Amino acid sequence: MADTLLEVRDLRTYIYTRRGVVKAVDGASFSVRRGETLGIVGESGSGKSMTCLSILRLVPEPGGRIVGGQILFDGENLLDKSPEEMRRLRGPRIAMILQDPMASLNPAMTVGEQIAETLALHRGLRGRALDDRVVELLRQVKISDPERRVHAYPHQMSGGIRQRVAGAIAISCQPSLLIADEPTTSLDVTIQSQYLRLLKEIQRETSLALVFVTHDLGIVAKLCDRVAVMYAGRIVELGRTRDIFNRPRHPYAIGLLDCLPTLRRGREPLTAIEGQPPDLANVPEGCSFTPRCPMAEPRCSQKRPPLESVDSEHLVACIRAGETATLGRRAATVSRASAAPVAEPVGSGDVVLEARQLTKHFPLARGTIFGRRFGTVKAVDGVDFVLRRGETLGLVGESGCGKTTTARLVLSLERPTTGGVFFRGRDIHSLGRHERGGYRRAVQAVFQDPFSSLNPRLTIRTTVSEPLAQTEPDLTRAELAERVAASLTRVGLQPRIADDYPHELSGGQRQRVAIARALTTNPECILLDEAVSALDVSIRAQVMNLLREIQDRSGVSYLFIAHDLAVVKYVSARIGVMYLGKLVETAPADELYANPLHPYTQVLLSDALPAHPDDVRDEVILKGEVPSAFNPPSGCRFHPRCPQAMPICGEVEPPLREQASGHPVACHLY
């Protein structure tokens, strides 16, 4: 562990653009030991991903250059190597896993061919030895039935399996260093837990050094030995994970930790970091965090503080680091909102939206025109829920459980097979054309992937103003511009980005644009499908506080879909747990987390990411993957994976029965 494998010294990577020189990495310094996991955390635009690309000498062209510093890998400076030498180094000795596996996997090649390509190029394997090694790698990353999966294409696999395939390619040549850039962002809580456990096992077996880039501090608490906190292209705090969580010294690190919603936390407003990260083309003099720092003083803006040791292996770049240790965390963080929004009691308020025995089955057919039907995918299979004015209903569950199909039915993007969605007592699929337009104005949506829901050819101004132009056509251009600026400001964006295009923004910024667009029509209900999963912890806290404030002020209702259980608990008054097209448990949020009844709910909570290393607990490991909705198991659909399954579970489907007031559960245990 004491043997340093990677050492980055004063790394500076600049991007030359039409706006000026973007100092993406501006003097970053850190090291990684053999067999160690270093977590790099920070907001979008802090330089995390660019640091990783710089290590691999994959800085984007044109315009990107490493202008200074050293990258010492196993004693050799990577900046002195030729492009050909770097190509021989990538894969066999340094590998990388990207955030989106579909961006790194070739859709026209089977996963077996893609793994084999790496092995043939770097290890020279051929024939039977190559085939055996490919299957062995799929088995190593815990992919079931690898002999069959080796012939599958990426689109035929779930997100979790695709990410494991990307991991198999990365470890195929047994590298010494693995860089993982947000590899778990889009994974469900159970798949995420399995993936982190897999990385730990691989690391134990191979003494692999791991650099894990994330904005999720729960993953850091669970996985990492040390943490580097990055801000505006620099490391501002570096130390052991337990030290960073117990005694953070830099005001920025303290602010990030105070932004976290946790399972133990109440519904009081989160402590968000005020302001936004600086424009890296115009970084302020001195400490770059000064404009947002509650402890800032005049000397902070005069000289950039060096990264200095304040304790054993604990480095901080702050001239007031000693005071944060004596004054306590609260002195170095921003103030909370003046008062917590008062949640409306569950069961009160008018019913805004209701699902009654909502079912959506997709027929499968062979052939293109007169195909013969050979089966049915039961995506949603008899779901009931009620959403009242001013209430938030959270829906949780793994990928493939039917959450997003339910959302599409609510938005009238799909017609139900049976049952219906009722808005203010009327079936939305029986509304006339004019009434349907009113429904679409009243029910807005924010989806998980903003890049697919924002038109790449339209500026942010046009995108945000589009709903206004249709619902309020009498607005003048000046009024429209004012409303757009106000909407962008409400979600924490600078109005100056209104003339930018989606590709010029970070993922978090694009998601905030999508939320701003949804708010422009003052809707009665907003469907939020993983709407905060791509946001940094600080921006997420701001947006979640904003959603609660808007709800408290206007009485808007939310249907909130997410896989982060702490976020769901913070936002939601009631929570429904879905599994394979059915609701298996519904309860008030506090009741569900205090007394989960269904074994599946218990597993989800056991896999939830901790807010502190001391909160890491033994996990309940699920058997297998989510079964296909094409051929769901008989009886209780969860019984093949349930740790408490009984013989009756495989024979009789349990009804959803109320076990306590407002707490129904579908399980034979009760």
Euclidean distance between CA atoms 441 and 521, whole angstroms:
6
Domain identity same for 401 and 531: yes
> Which residues touch 57 (CB under 8 Å, ≥6 apart)?
66, 78, 79, 81, 83, 86
CA 590 to chain centre: 23
- Locate all alpha helices (DSSP H) within 172-250, ordered by sequence: 189-206, 217-223, 241-246
Last residue of a domain, one of 548, 569, 588: 588
- Residue 436 included in any domain: yes
Last residue of a domain, one of 535, 568, 588: 588
Q: Provide the 3-class DSSP secondary structure of residue 2.
A: coil
Beta strands (DSSP E) in 475-581 are 525-529, 557-561, 574-579
Antiparallel, parallel or unpaired: β 426-427 and 392-396: unpaired
Encoded amino acid at 90, one letter: R
Tell me which of 375 and 199 has the higher pLDDT: 199
- Residue 150 included in any domain: no
Euclidean distance between CA atoms 419 and 527, whole angstroms:
20
Tell me which of 613 and 207 has the higher pLDDT: 207
- Residue 42 included in any domain: yes
Residue 300 backbone zone (phi > 0: left; psi -120 to 50: alpha; other: beta):
alpha
pLDDT tens profile 420-434: 999 988 999 888 878
Domain identity same for 406 and 278: no
- Residue 600 included in any domain: no
- Residue 66 included in any domain: yes
CB 19 within 8 A of CB 206: no
CB 214 within 8 A of CB 182: yes
Antiparallel, parallel or unpaired: β 574-579 and 392-396: parallel
Reply yes or no on whether the pLDDT at 567 is more than 60.
yes
Cα dihedral sign for 319, 320, 325, 329? negative
pLDDT tens profile 120-130: 989 889 999 99
Question: For residue 337, what pLDDT band results from cuts at 50, 70 and 90?
Answer: very low
CA distances (Å), origin 637, targets 44, 271, 397, 668: 40, 40, 13, 12
Buried b (16+ CB within 10 A) or exposed e, 517-535: bbbbbebbbbbbbbbbbbb
pLDDT value, residue 352: 93
Reply yes or no on whether the pLDDT at 343 is more than 50.
no
- Locus of tokens 């959270």: 394
| Count of positions (residues) in the chain | 670
Question: For residue 186, what pLDDT band results from cuts at 50, 70 and 90?
Answer: low
Q: State which residues form the domain around 563.
A: 389-588
pLDDT tens profile 369-419: 555 666 788 889 999 999 999 999 999 988 778 888 999 999 999 999 999
Domain identity same for 428 and 511: yes
pLDDT value, residue 177: 95
Domain identity same for 476 and 397: yes
- Residue 533 included in any domain: yes
CB 346 within 8 A of CB 662: yes
Domain identity same for 220 and 320: yes
Q: For the chain, how far is it from start to end, CA to CA, in angstroms?
A: 50
- Give me 321's structure tokens: 């680091």
Domain identity same for 308 and 448: no
Domain identity same for 510 and 445: yes
CB 385 within 8 A of CB 354: yes
Number of domains in the chain: 2
Euclidean distance between CA atoms 315 and 327, whole angstroms:
18
Reply yes or no on whether the pLDDT at 597 is more than 70.
yes
- Residue 594 included in any domain: no
Reply yes or no on whether the pLDDT at 346 is more than 50.
no
Q: Which residues sit opposite 385 in a β-bridge?
A: 355
Domain identity same for 429 and 494: yes
Domain identity same for 299 and 437: no
Euclidean distance between CA atoms 492 and 275, whole angstroms:
8
Domain identity same for 319 and 418: no
Euclidean distance between CA atoms 368 and 364, whole angstroms:
11
Tell me which of 629 and 47 has the higher pLDDT: 47
Helix (H) or strand (E) holding 146: helix 146-149
Q: Cis check for the bond before 306: say yes or no (omega within 30 of 0).
A: no
**CATH at 534:** 3.40.50.300
Domain identity same for 328 and 393: no
pLDDT tens profile 502-544: 888 876 678 889 888 988 888 899 999 888 876 777 778 877 8
- Residue 574 included in any domain: yes
Encoded amino acid at 76, one letter: E
Domain identity same for 394 and 299: no
Q: Which of 173-177, 367-371, 429-433, 553-557: highest mean pLDDT?
A: 173-177
Give 269-334 as a DSSP string.
PP-PPPS-PPPTTSPPSS-TTGGG-TT--GGGGTSPPP-EEEETTEEE--TTHHHHHHH-GGGGSP
Antiparallel, parallel or unpaired: β 226-231 and 209-213: unpaired
